[in-house]
Amino acid sequence: MSLPFQPEILWSDALLFVLLAAVSAFVLHVRRHEHLCVPWLRVAQSRIGMAAAVILAVYAAIGVLDSLHFRPALPAEAGQPLRYGNEVRSVLDVVAEPLRTRVEKTYSEPFALHLYAKENLTLADGRQVRDYPRLKHGGAHLADERERAGDIARRAIVGGLWGAGLAFGLWLLLGLSQVRRGRGVATATARMLHAQEWAAWRTALIALSLLLVLGGVLVQLAGHYHILGTDKVGQDVFYLSLKSIRTGLLIGTLTTLIMLPFALFLGVAAGYYGGRVDDLIQYVYTTLNSIPGVLLIAAAVLVAQVYIETHAELFDTAAARSDLRLVFLCAILGVTSWTGLARLLRGETLKLRELEYIQAARAFGVTHLRILSRHILPNVGHLVLITVVIDFSGLVLAEAVLSYVGVGVDPAMASWGNMINGARLELAREPMVWWQLAAAFLFMFVLVLSANLFADSVREAFDPRAEQR
Amino acid sequence: MTSGLLLRDLRVEIAAGDRRLMPVDGVSLEIGPHECVALLGESGCGKSLTALALMRLLPDGLAITGGEARLDGTDLFALPERAMQTVRGGRLAMVFQEPMLSLNPVLTVARQIAEALAVHRGMRGGAAKAEIERLLLAVGLPAELAASYPFQLSGGQRQRALIATMLAGEPRFLIADEPTTALDVTVQAQILRLLKQLQAERGMGLLLITHDLDVARDMADRVAIMYAGEVVEWAARDVLYGRPFHPYTQKLFSVLPSTQRRGERLDHIPGSVPPLGTAFSGCRFQERCPQVWARCQQEAPGLYELQAGHRVRCHLAVEDRPGVAQAKPSIVAGATADRAPLLQVRGLALHFPIRRGLFRRSVGAVKAVDGVSLELRAGETLALVGESGCGKSTLARGILRLIEPTAGSVRLGDEEVGRLSGEALRKKRAEMQIVFQDPFASLNPRMRVGEVLEEGLQALRPEVGKAERKERVARLLEQVGLDASAALRYPHAFSGGQRQRIAIARALAVAPKLLICDEPTSALDVSVQAQILNLLKDLQREHGLAYLFISHNLAVVAYLAHRVAVMYRGRIVEEGEAASVMARPLHPYTRLLLASAPGQGLPRDAVFSERFAQVGCPFAPRCGEAKPICAERNPALGEWQDRRVACHLYG
């Protein structure tokens, strides 16, 4: 049997799936242990934390959709075995097919009907004029250009209503599940709308409902207009922004995945064994810290670049090439950023090592490895978690800066850094091309802000002082 | 009464969600000028919150919701915050438990006193300088210490410096919240004497908050006993110590260990102090009270006036309990000690090198333990006493080889522990175990109690199967008086005393012959201490365990130990039968320790110095009977009458 597509697992996809598996395992582990659940239940009681989590979840969903890659089959020729194209697509591309394919010639403003550059046009009567031509796709369905405002408003309202309907359905479903658990309609309503312990969940639901409404509006409009304009080569900026989400998320999470083993192993080892081991590890990270990070990253990325170019035969698609560069960037970011967490863990381990329960374990002759895994690691877990969540937003921003400088991800890859880089020169142009920068800023801002808010509520929930209250 | 500190019906509330918790519920006190009142109670009964409420320094989330406080007629709770600031540290000052946390580490002592002088008395420049010297002198500190930073001072000096800052505002009343709990007995005696003397000289009122009955007996004129947020008994000291009325007060006295109670089982109060947020109906002490009857459950007792100045919150004050029968403490036979020594320590030394410079060259050593020899027989308890920093705990860790000894030998049974390694050492570890001081730091918060107890078995007896392990855990829990269901819970669900039981069970899991107890009861309340001491005695009798019992509490040592070894600066200075050492101490240091113990009146004047000699007898600078030879030669531990003593006075 031959599928109409061939699944393609890029390196970064594989790592992302590993990460997802690890997170799922972690969640299962937490659920089985009462003391581990407690702080997470506190997170679930924070209204801001829950709203931020909803937004993060939407971002994550888009990122995961964009990581399910495949190569579509080429049109079948009789008698030939089925062959697959060289172009790698993702499920997100399929969902957003119209966005991807409706490419204009060059820049156009958000919701514009005309290009942003004048061209020589031949009128119906054969006269040549120099004017802004109509877009091929943006607003192409409009017979009369004056209908635009009314059309946008109508579509926005329809989309909004769709979203609102979905949201209402969601509330109704939740309410029904309450009723089915044996509570009366009145109590279920009261619980959902007023109960104190539902406050955070209510906030999350409201955030989700608002997102649904917004999503409805966007879906209705994006099919007919370029809602965030188009870039230099006419690609839809909204589509690029969506594609950039995966890049941002990968940089934020894969880096952590690569950095964690270093930080955990070296930090804990330095603190627990002390003496020469400690001296050596401290020496390594002090040295590493004194090399300017950007220099190290630039050098490493250039090396990777050369390797990829001289071994072109190893990569059968362009996507695989740019993907390897992304993974490499994550790796080098990880290698340079483990020092902070390692230092933190070393300090905490130094403190834990002297605690009496560790002494008691040593009095039992428990092996070092077992002390590390049963006594030390679980007790530094909260530090690791807090650091990881806080570092995430920093890494997303770092990607933007590095791509802007030119040592970030592949220029062909959609990323916020590349969008900003592309917008850089056009900002000086009169009239200004502002939408690329604005779109990248908006998407990044929302992600980083929710990540920070979420990190804040996680930090607060894991604060040992909170337990005493 | 217009002069004096008057507290009436104080209520402090914590808002926790929609529940309202009352850690202090209707406390009334009065302290006259020149008077010392002790507020006595176990941890968590609301003593400190009462003091903080008086100072209006309650932490966030707590609020005063009722009552009034009058200081010489001024209503403290009605004052605006600005006016309260001049009262605080001025007319009303407070000394806290931990002097290191109450002094700013980056300011010199003089600066901190000067600050108080400037704020409360407007003194600056030369006048302030002279006053600082006068204050330091008053608290017994040499004037040249004015320029030092808190970290350069010892614990006792810090507490003195803190008292000097508090005196700077010339307070009419001083609140001292456990001012000596963190200090050694010898230093505690000094500080208490200082407080008493300052109080007499300056005519101050003193509110002393303490958990120690003996400290209160030495210091107070009147005593208030607190339990679960209420004052349960309020009387003049002699009345309270002579004829305590409330069952709780009586129990507090009867659970105290002492020489007279040797061989007896200590009386104990079942259960523990009710946690904050317990909903009470009726008397708050009913669940732990030996004389409870129906009325106690139905009706909360009022504060009845038994006679003038003796108030009691108990129904017994107004009604006799039907059918009173007092249980006598049961007498148990002490464990008989074997002849052959189980543990033999010879010349054990633990030195920590001081390393300096790039290549970490060793430039000297801290001699934490310096040639200690001990013997301990099965079924015997040897107590190791001494001030903090004398090397008691280090010695214990050296015996267990948690720290590698520098020199000397440790024999357990018929094997030399120091020579063992690898598998043989691990096997040996099953024979010697340790119980630590802090029950909160000694259990891994991320492991269930069952896992904690199984850990030793897994490490030392891997041949024991899973089912048998579980069964053993259940048996251990039963042995230490806990429910078998405890195995499934996490340590945070238990109180301090219960945690200490778990820690003991953990040590017992591998069936040791020697149990080292490193201050196992010093972090616990007296009522819980009695439970743990009884448990230790029972276990010794049943299993013939040998205890090396490290403690600074001489009353506990007198009660529990067969023999005592007194340590000073890493060496044993006196060792002998507990009863005879307690009754007739020979070494001047032992005498100082015993004389400093609270509860027997404040010592007249002990020679006080925190210096110690590098050459000769390290105790010589503090010793009242030092001879010229003491400054030259360190005396060796020699036999003298029925014991061993290291002092030139003997032999």
Domains of chain A: 5-105 (no CATH), 145-222 (no CATH), 237-468 (1.10.3720.10)
Query: CB-based contact (8 Å) between A27 and chain B?
Result: no
Q: Which of B549, B538, B480, B550 is nearest to B509 (CA)?
A: B480
Helix, strand, or coil here: A466? helix
Determine whether the interchain pair B432/A375 forms a contact, defined as Cβ–Cβ distance below 8 Å. Answer: no
CA distance B134 to chain A (A): 41
Helix, strand, or coil here: A271? helix
Determine whether the interchain pair B429/A363 forms a contact, defined as Cβ–Cβ distance below 8 Å. Answer: yes
Whether B575 has a pLDDT exceeding 90, the answer reads yes
Query: CB-based contact (8 Å) between B349 and chain A?
Result: no
Helix axis angle, B109-121 to B125-138, nearest 10°? 110
Check residue A311 and give its pLDDT: 86
Contacts 24+ apart (CB under 8 A), A110-116: A110/A225, A110/A226, A110/A227, A110/A228, A110/A229, A110/A237, A110/A435, A111/A138, A111/A139, A111/A148, A111/A152, A111/A225, A111/A226, A111/A227, A112/A138, A112/A139, A112/A226, A112/A229, A113/A138, A113/A139, A113/A142, A113/A145, A113/A148, A116/A433
Residues β-bridged to residue A40: none
Sequence-distant (6+) residues with CB within 8 A of A390 are A452, A455, A459
Query: CB-based contact (8 Å) between A2 and chain B?
Result: no
Identity of the residue in A196, A355, A364 whose CB atom sits nearest the CB atom of B460: A364
Helix, strand, or coil here: A223? coil
Which residue of A lies nearest to B462 if distances are taken between CA atoms? A366
Determine whether the interchain pair A356/B425 forms a contact, defined as Cβ–Cβ distance below 8 Å. Answer: no
Determine whether the interchain pair A360/B397 forms a contact, defined as Cβ–Cβ distance below 8 Å. Answer: no
Regarding whether B313 and B348 lie in a shared domain, the answer is no
Which two tokens mark A79? 């008698």
Identity of the residue in B18, B445, B456 whose CB atom sits nearest the CB atom of A35: B445
A window 169-208, beta carbon within 8 A of B: 196
Helix, strand, or coil here: A239? helix
Phi-psi region of B106 (alpha: psi -120 to 50; beta: other; left: phi over 0): alpha
State the pLDDT confidence band at B516, using cuts at 50, 70 and 90: very high
Query: CB-based contact (8 Å) between B17 and chain A?
Result: yes
Query: CB-based contact (8 Å) between A117 and chain B?
Result: no
B window 53-72, beta carbon within 8 A of A: 61
Check residue B328 and give its pLDDT: 52
Check residue A25 and give its pLDDT: 93
Query: CB-based contact (8 Å) between B460 and chain A?
Result: yes
* B446: chain A residues, CB-CB within 8 Å: 35-36, 378-379, 381
B window 389-428, beta carbon within 8 A of A: 397, 400, 402, 425-426
Pick the last residue of a domain from B171, B195, B220.
B220
Number of domains in chain B: 3
Contacts 24+ apart (CB under 8 A), A17-25: A17/A67, A18/A257, A19/A253, A19/A254, A19/A257, A20/A64, A22/A257
Regarding whether B173 and B46 lie in a shared domain, the answer is yes
Which two tokens mark A298? 């630039």
Q: Is residue B374 part of a domain?
A: yes
Consecutive H or E run containing B16: strand B5-16
Q: What range defines the domain where residue B595 resides?
A: 341-431+512-645
Secondary structure of B149-215 in the HEC alphabet? CHHHCCHHHHHHHHHHHHHCCCCCEEEEECCCCCCCHHHHHHHHHHHHHHHHHHCCEEEEEECCHHH
DSSP letters along A53-116, please? Answer: HHHHHHHHHHHHHTT-EEEEBPPP-TTSPP-B-S--EEHHHHHTHHHHH---SS-B-TT-SB-S
Identity of the residue in B18, B434, B447 whose CB atom sits nearest the CB atom of A363: B434
Check residue B330 and give its pLDDT: 56
Determine whether the interchain pair B459/A367 forms a contact, defined as Cβ–Cβ distance below 8 Å. Answer: yes
The CA distance from B296 to A34, in Å, is 38
Check residue B311 and give its pLDDT: 92
Determine whether the interchain pair A357/B443 forms a contact, defined as Cβ–Cβ distance below 8 Å. Answer: yes
Listed in sequence order, the DSSP H helices in B561-625 are 578-583, 588-596
Check residue B266 and give its pLDDT: 85
Determine whether the interchain pair B402/A374 forms a contact, defined as Cβ–Cβ distance below 8 Å. Answer: no
Determine whether the interchain pair A364/B432 forms a contact, defined as Cβ–Cβ distance below 8 Å. Answer: no
Q: Contact A217/A159 with Cβ under 8 angstroms?
A: yes
State the pLDDT confidence band at B607, using cuts at 50, 70 and 90: very low
Determine whether the interchain pair B397/A379 forms a contact, defined as Cβ–Cβ distance below 8 Å. Answer: no
B window 501-540, beta carbon within 8 A of A: 503, 506-507, 510
Quote the Cα angle for B567-B570-B572, to 5°: 35
Q: Which of A37, A46, A39 is nearest to A463 (CA)?
A: A39
Check residue A469 and give its pLDDT: 40
DSSP letters along B281-333, please? Answer: -S-TTGGG-TT--HHHHHS----EEEETTEEE-SGGGTSPPSS--PPPPPB-P
The CA distance from B276 to B291, in Å, is 24
Whether B546 has a pLDDT exceeding 90, the answer reads yes
Q: Residue range B432-449: average pLDDT?
A: 88
Regarding whether B349 and B312 lie in a shared domain, the answer is no
Query: CB-based contact (8 Å) between A355 and chain B?
Result: yes
Determine whether the interchain pair A364/B18 forms a contact, defined as Cβ–Cβ distance below 8 Å. Answer: no
Regarding whether B292 and B348 lie in a shared domain, the answer is no
Determine whether the interchain pair B459/A196 forms a contact, defined as Cβ–Cβ distance below 8 Å. Answer: no
Residue entry with tokens 């004047």:
B605
Q: Contact A51/A200 with Cβ under 8 angstroms?
A: no
Determine whether the interchain pair A363/B438 forms a contact, defined as Cβ–Cβ distance below 8 Å. Answer: no
Regarding whether B516 and B422 lie in a shared domain, the answer is yes
Determine whether the interchain pair A366/B447 forms a contact, defined as Cβ–Cβ distance below 8 Å. Answer: no
Q: Is residue B476 part of a domain?
A: no
Q: pLDDT tens, position by position, for chain A (469 residues)? A: 467 788 888 888 999 999 899 999 999 988 887 777 888 888 888 888 999 999 999 999 999 999 998 888 877 777 777 778 778 888 888 888 888 888 888 888 888 888 888 888 887 788 888 888 888 888 888 888 888 888 889 999 999 999 999 999 988 888 888 787 776 777 777 777 777 777 888 888 889 999 999 999 998 888 888 888 888 888 889 999 999 999 999 988 888 888 899 999 999 999 999 888 999 999 999 998 888 878 888 888 888 888 888 888 888 788 888 888 888 888 888 888 889 899 999 999 999 998 889 989 988 888 899 999 889 988 888 888 888 888 888 888 888 888 888 788 888 888 888 888 888 777 777 778 888 889 999 999 999 999 989 988 888 887 765 554 4
Regarding whether B216 and B88 lie in a shared domain, the answer is yes
The CA distance from A116 to A123, in Å, is 19
Check residue B531 and give its pLDDT: 87
Q: Which of B422, B381, B429, B384 is nearest to B402 (CA)?
A: B429
What letter represents residue B276's amino acid? L
CA distance B438 to chain A (A): 8
Regarding whether B303 and B357 lie in a shared domain, the answer is no
Q: How far lies B583's CA from each of B259, B554, B591, in Å?
A: 9, 12, 10
Check residue B381 and give its pLDDT: 93
Which residue of A lies nearest to B510 if distances are taken between CA atoms? A364
A window 221-260, beta carbon within 8 A of B: none
What are the respective helix, strand and coil percentages of chain A, to the nearest 5? Answer: 70, 5, 25
Regarding whether B613 and B576 lie in a shared domain, the answer is yes
Regarding whether B379 and B278 lie in a shared domain, the answer is no
What is the average pLDDT score of chain B? Answer: 86
CATH code for position B38: 3.40.50.300
Phi-psi region of A351 (alpha: psi -120 to 50; beta: other; left: phi over 0): alpha
Residues β-bridged to residue A282: none
Summarised one tens digit per residue, pLDDT across range B343-374 is 999 999 999 888 777 667 777 788 889 889 99
What letter represents residue B202's amino acid? R
Summarised one tens digit per residue, pLDDT across range B58-95 is 888 888 988 999 998 889 999 999 999 888 888 899 98
Check residue A468 and give its pLDDT: 44
CA distance A351 to chain B (A): 11
Q: Contact B247/B316 with Cβ under 8 angstroms?
A: yes
Query: CB-based contact (8 Å) between A74 and chain B?
Result: no
State the pLDDT confidence band at B173, using cuts at 50, 70 and 90: very high
Chain centre distance of CA A47: 22
Regarding whether B363 and B291 lie in a shared domain, the answer is no
Regarding whether B98 and B160 lie in a shared domain, the answer is yes
* B397: chain A residues, CB-CB within 8 Å: 359
DSSP letters along B376-415, please? Answer: EETT-EEEEE--TTSSHHHHHHHHTTSS--SEEEEEETTE
Consecutive H or E run containing A152: helix A148-180
A and B: number of Cβ contacts within 8 A: 67
Cα torsion through B541, B545, B550, B556, rounded to 10: 0
The CA distance from B87 to B171, in Å, is 9
Regarding whether B349 and B211 lie in a shared domain, the answer is no
Pick the last residue of a domain from B173, B195, B220.
B220
The CA distance from B559 to B264, in Å, is 9
* A367: chain B residues, CB-CB within 8 Å: 459
> By mean pLDDT, which of A260-269, B107-116, B137-146 is the weakest?
B137-146
Phi, psi of B243 (to 5 degrees): -130, 75
